[in-house]
């Protein structure tokens, strides 16, 4: 399948020349650009600024090698199209990407570094990025990485694009490592408080079990097992718990991934807190949901942002206002002086005119 364009209807979507022309023009007059795909993730980060540059038409799977577990697609390619193509081959995007809306694209997913409940057990988006092709702030089309891991020497710039929020360049193509889909899955429920759930999640993670998701909400811990029929059955018998029907389990994990659970329907600012999985319950009042085996914690709290970040930092983690709140203020965990300067130097190297998504991550760039 190498080189084949799998865009539905056989119509390719290569708009490289048009996008490069728009970037060159903007760079020439220092005009800021807001990179826009489907808009499904526009809620994330600080309020976008700049002239919208629509990249959604730059779409299509460029190459797909099922036997090599490698796929390359243009950044505007929809996730549902990619996942449908992979499913036909019994394969999947192992980082379990959330869509957060219709039309979600691969480029937006990589730019935001969004992963679903499988993330702690299979890896994050950046772990599966093999290479990228992009337009830098000078209007140059450049390529980093390749389609195999051994092509990378020195610092892996391609993975730097994961989570950069489009501030370092305009993604054109992304090459990903993909994985076979599991033969079967089973979910077990345990009635536990938050302390006991965190302790149990960490204990299970230390054992040779085929875990693929673990979460806690409202006194119930959910554990998902994925793999072969024999392996999953043996693991389920070993850990115990109450069996959850396949329909209920599939609905729960999808709704957790897409933030469609009742928990996420609050109008309050939603905090995303990242800490080591073994970290104890944090001393912050509010409503909690635990994901990623304890490493990702969602919180609605009346506490002010300074208190939240101080408490999380003391636990060795960081906190982000994921949704809601003052989007013109501090969204991401503040950077210390040396780290902020390092980020600025990377920004200047990739986008010297600072035209890409200015202020989307931090006010200074």
Which of these three, 323, 340, 355, is where a domain ends? 323
CATH value at residue 36: 3.30.465.10
Is 21 contained in some domain?
yes
119 and 216 share one domain: no
Q: Which domain holds residue 44?
A: 8-180
Is 23 contained in some domain?
yes
237 and 157 share one domain: no
147 and 187 share one domain: no
Burial of residue 212 (number of CB atoms within 10 Å: 0-12, 13-18, 19+): buried
226 and 115 share one domain: no
Is 210 contained in some domain?
yes
Is 349 contained in some domain?
no
Q: How many domains does the chain have?
A: 2
Q: Name residue, tokens 């969204």.
A: 331
- Reading the chain (365 residues) residue by residue, the pLDDT tens digits are 444 444 443 345 789 999 999 999 999 999 999 999 999 999 999 998 899 999 999 999 999 999 999 999 999 999 999 999 999 999 999 999 999 988 999 999 999 999 999 999 999 999 999 999 999 999 999 999 876 555 455 567 889 999 999 999 999 999 999 999 999 999 999 999 999 999 999 999 999 999 999 999 999 999 999 999 999 999 999 999 999 999 999 999 999 999 999 999 999 999 999 999 999 999 999 999 999 999 999 999 999 999 999 999 999 999 999 999 988 888 998 888 898 899 999 999 999 999 999 999 988 88
Q: How far apart are CA 330 and CA 322, in angstroms?
A: 11
How much is the pTM? 0.91
pLDDT value at residue 4: 44
258 and 151 share one domain: no
């Amino acid at each position: 399948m190498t080189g084949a364009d799998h865009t539905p209807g056989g119509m390719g979507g290569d708009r490289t020349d048009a996008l490069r022309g728009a970037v060159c023009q903007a760079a020439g007059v220092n005009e800021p650009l807001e990179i826009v795909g489907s808009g499904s993730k526009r809620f994330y980060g600080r309020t976008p600024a700049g002239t919208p540059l629509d990249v959604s038409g730059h779409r299509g799977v460029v190459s797909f090698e099922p036997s090599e577990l490698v796929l390359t697609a243009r950044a505007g390619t929809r996730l549902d199209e990619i996942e449908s193509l992979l499913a036909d081959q019994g394969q999947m995007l192992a980082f379990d990407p959330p869509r957060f809306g219709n039309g979600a694209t691969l480029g937006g997913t990589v730019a935001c570094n969004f992963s679903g409940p499988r993330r702690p057990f299979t890896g994050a988006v950046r772990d599966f990025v093999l290479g990228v092709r992009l337009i830098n702030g000078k209007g140059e089309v450049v390529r980093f990485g390749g389609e195999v891991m051994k092509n990378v020497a020195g610092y892996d710039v391609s993975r730097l694009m994961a989570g950069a929020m489009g501030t370092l360049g305009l993604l054109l193509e992304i090459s990903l490592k993909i994985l076979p889909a599991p033969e079967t899955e089973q979910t077990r429920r345990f009635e536990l408080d938050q302390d006991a759930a965190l302790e149990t999640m960490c204990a299970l993670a230390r054992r040779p079990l085929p875990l693929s998701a673990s979460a806690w909400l409202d006194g119930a811990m959910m554990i998902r097992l994925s793999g072969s029929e024999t392996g999953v059955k043996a693991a389920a018998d070993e850990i115990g718990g109450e069996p959850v029907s396949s329909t209920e389990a599939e609905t729960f994990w999808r709704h957790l991934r897409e933030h469609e659970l009742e928990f996420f329907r609050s109008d309050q600012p939603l905090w995303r807190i990242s800490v080591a999985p073994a970290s104890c319950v944090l001393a912050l009042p509010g409503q909690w949901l635990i994901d990623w085996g304890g490493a990702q914690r969602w919180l609605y709290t009346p506490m002010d942002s300074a208190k939240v970040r101080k408490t999380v930092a003391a636990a060795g983690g960081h906190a982000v206002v994921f949704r809601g709140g003052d989007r013109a203020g501090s969204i991401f965990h503040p950077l210390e002086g040396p780290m902020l300067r390092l980020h600025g130097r990377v920004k200047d190297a990739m986008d010297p005119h600072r035209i890409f998504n200015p202020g989307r991550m931090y006010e200074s760039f």
